[in-house]
Amino acid sequence: MALRVGLFDGHDMPDWRREARSREIPADLFFTEPGEISNYREARLVCAGCPVRAECVDDVLAWERPGQRHGVVGGMSPVQREQVVRARHGGAA
């Protein structure tokens, strides 16, 4: 899973990642099975107080592809990220 590798496994780590609250939290919290609401809520709480939340979201949205969105990124679900992409592109993802 490319998102998980890029954000949590340290390969090609962007500079903002060094300041991320998620840096030392197991990636499984952010990439759970569908329907695991408790982890989703906990992941969103981690992201809510993160000083680089905007950078995280912007970075991921720059390369994440429709149909391949998974997990919580910047406190946002895949559906929420899709909505942001649509809004930025005038309704087209």
pLDDT tens digits for 38-68? Answer: 788 899 999 999 999 999 999 888 888 888 8
Let me know: does 73 contact 37? Beta carbons within 8 Å: no
pTM of this structure: 0.75
**Cα distance between residue 51 and residue 35, in whole Å:** 28
- Helices 53-63 and 78-88, packing angle to 10 deg: 80
pLDDT of 86 over the 70 cut: yes
Check residue 6 and report its DSSP letter.
Answer: H
3-state secondary structure of 52: coil
